[in-house]
Chain A
Amino acid sequence: MLRQPERYGWLPLLVVAITVAAGSIVLLGLSMLEDHLLNRSGRNLQWAAMEMAEKLDLVLFERYGDIQILADTLPEAGGEQEGAQWTQHLGKVQKAYPVYGWIGLLDKTGRVVAATDSGAVGKDAGGMGLAGQIEGKSAVTVHDARSHDLLEEHKTVGFSVPVTVPPQSRRFSPFHGTLVTHIKLSDLDAIVTRTLQEITTKTDVHQRLEYQVLNRHGQVIVESLHQQEGSLDLVALGVQSARLVTAGQTGFVMENHARRPVQVLTGYAPMPDRKELQELGWGVLVRADSKAILAPIHSTVRTVTMWGMGIFLPLWLFLLWTMGRLRSEWRRTEVGKHASEEAQHLLQSILDNALDAHILMDHEGLVVGWNLKAEAIFGWPSEEVVGKPLEELIIPPEDREALRRDLMKFPSTGKGLLLDKRFETEGRHREGRPFPIELSSISVKTSRGNLFSVFIRDITERKLAEAEEVRLWTILNASLNEIYMFRPDTLRFTYVNLGALSNIGYTMEAMQAMTPLDIKPEMTEASFRELVKPLLTGEREKLVFQTVHRRKNESLYPVEVQLQVVGQGQNQTFLALIYDITARLEQERRQSTEHAIAKILLDSDSLEEASQKIQETVCRTLGWKVGVLWKVDEQAQVLRCVAEWKVSRTQAETFLEQTRRSAFPCGAGLPGRVWESGNVEWISDVIHDSNFPRAPFAAEAGVHTGFAFPIRLEKKVYAVMEFFASDIREPERKLLDMFGNLAAQLSQFLRRKMAEVAITAAKAIAEQAVGEKAALLATVEAFFIRLTDSGVICEWTSQAEKLFGISLPEAIGRTFSDLPIGWSWETVQETINRVTQTISSVHLDKVRLVTLENTQRFIRLTVSPLCTDASVDVVLMGEDVTERLDLERELVQAQKLESIGQLAAGIAHEINTPTQYVGDNVRFLSDSFADLLAVLDRNRELLASAKTGICPPGLIEACEMEMRRADLDYLTEEIPKAIAQSAEGIARVAKIVRAMKDFAHPDNDEMTHVNLNKAIESTVIVAHNEWKYVADLTTDLAPDLPLVPCLLGQFNQVILNMIVNAAHAVGDVVRGTGQKGAISIVSCLVGECAEIRITDTGTGIPESIRRRVFDPFFTTKEVGKGTGQGLAIARSVVVDKHRGTITVESQVGQGTTFIIRLPLNRSGEMGEMEQAA
């Protein structure tokens, strides 16, 4: 396909265009010419019209002038003859001047008196339309053309002039008549025609001209054609020239003919503007057919055109044809070019795709073409090589000279050593390395000289393959293995290597007639073919099988055959590698024996057991018949038979019997000899051996070869193992080695067994120890966990199991901190870390633990380091102190209850007494009220009677009696007292109850911010009974004392104890004295602590026991009075629980002060406490 749109397609178009243009130009020229011609003709026509108009005008003017003269020259006549004279005169004139068509003389009335036309005489001119009355008109009057009766069919132009007598003096003369002359238009016509003819001849207007004379209205009065009757009003017809000429214009115009459908050129000219002939105002039209005017041009053009066509058209056609040819030629060239390009591309693709390198070289040795493979092989990209000399690129230096010479010679000789040939040589890669190439070059003669097309193949691989093949054949031949190749169809051998030939014993020629079956006694052809079928079908790539080969000398040997098929299709051939596996089989047998032995040794528990099995194995696999084991009897210094074995069908019973009974001392018999020498002993035939006591029995059993080897333990011979065969065998290196190994293995076995026994014993002891330790630890209530220095659990007692719910196997080996234990790992881990760092123990008094059953327990934990040689282990020992804490709490509670109990009596008394008297008082008041009421009643009676004035006599008395009975004085005094005392009593009870409520706090473990003063006051009230008899208790409690974090219940307990102690101390002093001591309680803020001082004026505490007062169970009171727990508890509470201090100052005989300090800031976590031990 052409790639570009048609080239030069525009060429014909161009030609056509040029033609068209030329034609246009010509046409343009022609039209211009036409115009010119027309113009010229027009002008001519116009001129003609003008001439004609002038002529007309002249003629008419002459007539105009004539008539005057005529008028003037009228003979004077008179009478009747006047008319005839005049007629005669007129006739003469007419004869002289034939132009006059009619002349006539009219009288005043307008009657014709004389005329050239005799018939007209006597007629009324007016009636005839001649002149009308012209009287008065002094000048000549012109009458426009019209027809009139006189001349009948003729149109005339009339002149009339008045005649006067005397005719000479026109001015004043009276009018006599009118002279009228008429000119026949047809005569004018003749003049015009003549004129026209003159003009025509003068100019070279060759065509037929038409003329028309129009009157001032545009009516045709004279025309050349004489075609129509009647007048033609051209103006009314719209003829342009008529219009123009009647307008008084001169010119020429192209217009359509009025009557004929043609274009005409009309020249027009009016009669010159003459005053005298104004009346007429005629115009002249001269026309000619345009066609006629242009006819010459047209004819010329036609002629030229014809000639031109005749010449130009063929030329033009020829031109087109040429162009067509040209284009098709060009197209063909294009196609050809494209085809050639395509061919080029195809060639290039082929070359690029070629498996060989292709180089095109010119006669100068420069590279012209270079394909892709060349790039690949030689490493030069084509851009870089084109134009370069080939020799420098790919020819090794040594060959370049040869090429150059060849190139020089070739043009002349057409031959060369290198050129136009095919051979193997060396090429050079861009990188400089040479490689073998096969080269084929031919020369191609071209216009530019010889081109050499060179195909080059990199035969490196081929060379290598060839070398490889050679090597392979060499190897095959040199191989010690037997290698056979045979055909798949006939099975005949095609190749047998040297190794095979030497082993099998046949010659190569002989083998070529043989098949594998000939040397395989165990296989038939059918079985063989069956065997090799998978190779032929391609199912298997290789077959390996064992069989037996037969040598030429009939000897057999076991072989392993590796069979393959090589080659394809027709060239398939079998390749067999034969391995003489005799030795291998032996090896295998020995190895399997060794393996079996090793296994037996692993499984056996004793030498005897192992020995039997080993002997069985050895005999079975190696073909021995009898095996015996002798053990050294240290005490008796003999070898005794401890185990034996024989192959089942062997008749060796007596032999074995004898063997069992024998005991060989050192040196005696085969065993003794081995024992003595410590080496292997081999007897080829024991029957004939000198030192073989069992020889006769051996002969009976058919035993010939015997050998034995020692089994050592700790360098001494421990046992001897014997083997016997039923044939004669010679010692074989490999066999002896094997038995040497066996001996060594048995020694090892013995050693191992000994060690195992020792280990077992040791293990038993160790286990016992471990068990004891575990049992020991199990008895202890505390749990015991041991961690390695990396935090891995290595010991975990049953208590730990129970407490944490994690069993021993689960715990052992795990990282301690990974365990799911519900305690504060932060604290525990931190403690562990501290322990390992500081190498000192740490106690944790109370560690809260949430067990796996979701119960809360408290643990007392001690973490200690345990230094081993390598590392520091960590030991965690601890116990569940939940119960103990509970007990403690209960004890505390009991203590509290006890103290309360102690106080109970007093408190009860304090409450009950008021209760008592309030109740009694109420009764009293009730009774008293009743009494009072009785008194009142009597008094009311009295009053009532007093009011009436009548007083019953007994009334006053009764009244007085009642009053006495009531003991009014008594009541007056007692009732108020009773009321007051009752109120006070109730108040007292309320106070005590409140104090009790404050005091008896529910026990909890949470520190709260406590108003110590209030607590003290409550406790004071509660203890009131204890001190009220013995002392005056004063308090001085600092009002600005802040709230102190405190366990309220326990604090109250402490204060209570202190108050009770103080009361007792004071009581001891004041007892019997009737006096009271003093107790004071002071609270104040000292530094960061709240201080409470309880001072009493008691007996004081002697120096010696001052320190012991806080000891548990220490008391100075008698039995039954106090348990001695008070101060101990106080210390525990203040110091342990509140991290405060409690101290005592005392002086015997003066008194004692206890000072309690409680810290204001919180210290210690809730429920847990630390104490560096």
Chain B
Amino acid sequence: MTILIIDDDQALRDSLRRTLRREGYTVLEAAEGEEGLKVVKSHPVDVVLVDLFMPGKEGLETIGELRRSHPGIKIIAMSGGGKKGHMDVLKAAKLMGARRVLAKPFTREELIDTVEQLLVN
């Protein structure tokens, strides 16, 4: 199973990668939306973790593009607004096509569960 992480923060990508790799997933990384789209084009990706706050191609846009280019792809949106903040943005992400939404900071369990849930469906 391949998971793509699209986030502009290197440290975050690394930590997520470490977590996911441990679980046995193959992890691909992209620093921003455009790059992410390229990766998806060239690699088979099952799940995409997209950070909503990114320069260039904004998170939501990226989600939209992904959905358009790869309709089967499962997208998890990440927001930085705390658990309670900016639910509107998260809702918007869902509207754009993100299957799930994770609000940073989320636990490893939350992440793994969400990923597994998506993969099951």
User: Which of B15, B34, B54, B80 meets A908, CB within 8 Å?
Assistant: B80
Instruction: Tell me whether A435 is interfacial, beta carbon within 8 Å.
Output: no
Q: A906-B53, A923-B108, A984-B11 are in contact. Are A912 and B19 (CB under 8 A)?
A: no
A1030 to B55, CA, bound (A): 7
User: Which of B53, B54, B56, B108 meets A920, CB within 8 Å?
Assistant: B108
User: In chain B, what residue has the closest Cβ to A1076?
Assistant: B55
Mark A901-928 against chain B: 1 for CB-CB distance below 8 A, else 0: 0001110111111111111110110010
Instruction: Tell me whether B9 is interfacial, beta carbon within 8 Å.
Output: yes
Q: B56: which A residues are within 8 A, CB to CB?
A: 1029, 1072, 1074
User: In chain A, what residue has the closest Cβ to B84?
Assistant: A908
Q: A985: which B residues are within 8 A, CB to CB?
A: 11
Instruction: Tell me whether B89 is interfacial, beta carbon within 8 Å.
Output: yes
Closest Cβ–Cβ distance, residue A964 to chain B (whole Å):
14
Q: B21: which A residues are within 8 A, CB to CB?
A: 970
Q: A904-B81, A908-B82, A912-B104 are in contact. Are A920 and B89 (CB under 8 A)?
A: no
A904 to B18, CA, bound (A): 29
Instruction: Tell me whether A595 is interfacial, beta carbon within 8 Å.
Output: no
User: Could you list 6 A-B pairs, sorted by A, with CB under 8 Å?
Assistant: A905-B81, A912-B82, A912-B105, A913-B51, A917-B11, A917-B15
Contact indicator A908/B16 (Cβ below 8 Å):
no
User: In chain A, what residue has the closest Cβ to B20?
Assistant: A920
Q: B68: which A residues are within 8 A, CB to CB?
A: none
Closest Cβ–Cβ distance, residue A352 to chain B (whole Å):
128
Contact indicator B22/A981 (Cβ below 8 Å):
no
Closest Cβ–Cβ distance, residue A902 to chain B (whole Å):
11
Total A-B residue contacts, Cβ distance less than 8 Å: 93
Contact indicator A977/B14 (Cβ below 8 Å):
yes
Which residues of A (243-267) have their CB < 8 Å from a CB of B?
none
Contact indicator B11/A914 (Cβ below 8 Å):
yes
Instruction: Tell me whether A974 is interfacial, beta carbon within 8 Å.
Output: yes
Instruction: Tell me whether B79 is interfacial, beta carbon within 8 Å.
Output: yes
Contact indicator A919/B107 (Cβ below 8 Å):
yes
Q: A970: which B residues are within 8 A, CB to CB?
A: 21
User: Which of A905, A977, A1029 meets B80, CB within 8 Å?
Assistant: A905
Contact indicator A913/B9 (Cβ below 8 Å):
yes
**For A911, A915, A916, A970, which residue has the most chain B Cβ atoms within 10 angstroms?**
A916
Q: A905-B89, A924-B15 are in contact. Are A916 and B105 (CB under 8 A)?
A: yes
Q: A977-B14, A1029-B55 are in contact. Are A909 and B80 (CB under 8 A)?
A: yes
Contact indicator B80/A913 (Cβ below 8 Å):
yes
A924 to B9, CA, bound (A): 18
Instruction: Tell me whether A1025 is interfacial, beta carbon within 8 Å.
Output: yes
Contact indicator A909/B104 (Cβ below 8 Å):
yes
Instruction: Tell me whether A388 is interfacial, beta carbon within 8 Å.
Output: no
A1055 to B4, CA, bound (A): 38
7 tightest A-B CB contacts, nearest first: A909-B80, A1029-B55, A917-B15, A912-B104, A920-B15, A981-B11, A915-B105
Q: B8: which A residues are within 8 A, CB to CB?
A: 1029
Contact indicator A917/B14 (Cβ below 8 Å):
yes
Instruction: Tell me whether B95 is interfacial, beta carbon within 8 Å.
Output: no
Contact indicator A921/B18 (Cβ below 8 Å):
yes
User: In chain A, what residue has the closest Cβ to B53?
Assistant: A909
Q: A905-B80, A920-B19 are in contact. Are A915 and B104 (CB under 8 A)?
A: yes
Q: A1030: which B residues are within 8 A, CB to CB?
A: 55
Contact indicator A905/B12 (Cβ below 8 Å):
no
**For A917, A918, A924, A984, which residue has the most chain B Cβ atoms within 10 angstroms?**
A917
A919 to B107, CA, bound (A): 8
Instruction: Tell me whether A978 is interfacial, beta carbon within 8 Å.
Output: yes
Contact indicator B18/A924 (Cβ below 8 Å):
yes
User: In chain B, what residue has the closest Cβ to A909?
Assistant: B80
User: Which of A919, A927, A978 meets B105, CB within 8 Å?
Assistant: A919
Contact indicator A904/B14 (Cβ below 8 Å):
no
A905 to B14, CA, bound (A): 23
B residues in contact (CB < 8 Å) with A: 7-12, 14-16, 18-19, 21-22, 34, 51, 53-56, 79-82, 85-86, 89, 103-108
Which residues of A (987-1041) have their CB < 8 Å from a CB of B?
1025, 1028-1030
A residues in contact (CB < 8 Å) with B: 904-906, 908-921, 923-924, 927, 970, 974, 977-978, 981, 984-985, 1025, 1028-1030, 1072, 1074
A783 to B55, CA, bound (A): 57
Q: A915-B104, A916-B15, A924-B22 are in contact. Are A910 and B55 (CB under 8 A)?
A: no
Contact indicator B53/A1025 (Cβ below 8 Å):
yes
A914 to B53, CA, bound (A): 14
A915 to B80, CA, bound (A): 10
User: In chain A, what residue has the closest Cβ to B52?
Assistant: A909
Closest Cβ–Cβ distance, residue A989 to chain B (whole Å):
11
Q: B80: which A residues are within 8 A, CB to CB?
A: 905-906, 908-913
User: In chain A, what residue has the closest Cβ to B19?
Assistant: A920
Q: B14: which A residues are within 8 A, CB to CB?
A: 917, 974, 977-978, 981
**For A970, A981, A985, A1072, which residue has the most chain B Cβ atoms within 10 angstroms?**
A981
A919 to B9, CA, bound (A): 15
A977 to B79, CA, bound (A): 24
* Extra inter-chain contacts (12) besides given A904-B81, A917-B11, A918-B15, CB under 8 Å: A905-B81, A908-B82, A909-B81, A911-B80, A913-B11, A916-B15, A923-B108, A970-B21, A977-B14, A978-B15, A981-B10, A985-B11
Contact indicator A978/B54 (Cβ below 8 Å):
no
Contact indicator B11/A904 (Cβ below 8 Å):
no
A966 to B67, CA, bound (A): 37
Contact indicator A908/B85 (Cβ below 8 Å):
yes
A1111 to B103, CA, bound (A): 38
A53 to B24, CA, bound (A): 204
Q: A913: which B residues are within 8 A, CB to CB?
A: 7, 9, 11-12, 51, 80, 104-105
User: In chain A, what residue has the closest Cβ to B79?
Assistant: A909
Closest Cβ–Cβ distance, residue B10 to chain A (whole Å):
8
A787 to B9, CA, bound (A): 71
A1074 to B32, CA, bound (A): 10
Q: B9: which A residues are within 8 A, CB to CB?
A: 913, 917
A927 to B8, CA, bound (A): 26
Q: A923: which B residues are within 8 A, CB to CB?
A: 19, 108
User: In chain B, what residue has the closest Cβ to A924?
Assistant: B18
A1072 to B22, CA, bound (A): 36
Q: B7: which A residues are within 8 A, CB to CB?
A: 913
A977 to B15, CA, bound (A): 9
User: In chain B, what residue has the closest Cβ to A914?
Assistant: B11
**For A906, A914, A1025, A1028, which residue has the most chain B Cβ atoms within 10 angstroms?**
A914
User: Which of B12, B22, B89 meets A927, CB within 8 Å?
Assistant: B22
Q: A920: which B residues are within 8 A, CB to CB?
A: 15-16, 18-19, 108
Q: A906: which B residues are within 8 A, CB to CB?
A: 53, 80
A1030 to B102, CA, bound (A): 25
Closest Cβ–Cβ distance, residue B97 to chain A (whole Å):
20
Q: B15: which A residues are within 8 A, CB to CB?
A: 916-918, 920-921, 924, 978, 981
User: In chain B, what residue has the closest Cβ to A908?
Assistant: B81
User: In chain B, what residue has the closest Cβ to A1067?
Assistant: B55
A916 to B9, CA, bound (A): 11
Contact indicator B12/A916 (Cβ below 8 Å):
yes
A1025 to B54, CA, bound (A): 10
Q: A910: which B residues are within 8 A, CB to CB?
A: 80
Q: A927: which B residues are within 8 A, CB to CB?
A: 22
A984 to B10, CA, bound (A): 12
A920 to B105, CA, bound (A): 9
User: Which of B18, B34, B53 meets A905, CB within 8 Å?
Assistant: B53
Closest Cβ–Cβ distance, residue A181 to chain B (whole Å):
199
User: In chain B, what residue has the closest Cβ to A985?
Assistant: B11
A908 to B55, CA, bound (A): 16
Q: B55: which A residues are within 8 A, CB to CB?
A: 1028-1030
Contact indicator B54/A1029 (Cβ below 8 Å):
yes
User: Which of B12, B53, B54 meets A917, CB within 8 Å?
Assistant: B12
Closest Cβ–Cβ distance, residue A962 to chain B (whole Å):
16
Contact indicator A978/B81 (Cβ below 8 Å):
no
User: Which of A912, A914, A916, A924 meets B81, CB within 8 Å?
Assistant: A912
A919 to B111, CA, bound (A): 13
A569 to B21, CA, bound (A): 154
